[in-house]
Structure 1
Amino acid sequence: MAGLAGVAFGWSPEAFWGATPAELAALVAVVAGERAAPPDAATLQHLMEAFPDG
């Protein structure tokens, strides 16, 4: 996996071993073209109420 990350993302072995699984997954998702659906109105409203920072 470290070798593949080096070829695909230009990572050194140190970068691979220092990365979190979430960081690697995020890069793989971008390369694969996967996208999360945007939040709906209810989710946005909930977030605005939870984090009312103006």
Structure 2
Amino acid sequence: MQRFDWGTLLRAGVRGLGLKPHEFWQLTPVELRVMLGEDSGAAPMARSRLDELLSAFPDDMKGDGR
């Protein structure tokens, strides 16, 4: 599982962007990435990550089939 490096991101937000800590923590990860210059937002999900999510959260087929 890939984890965020919160220390580095916090330093980039506070020192690099001049955000106050409470402003940093109110941002979504995508908003922070855009502010840091990654205009494309979050990276596309790879098939391996999709497979992990499907395993962790399988569809419930017990219902009415929808």
Tell me the TM-score normalised to structure 2 length.
0.40
Tell me the TM-score normalised to structure 1 length.
0.47
* Higher helix content, 1 or 2: 1
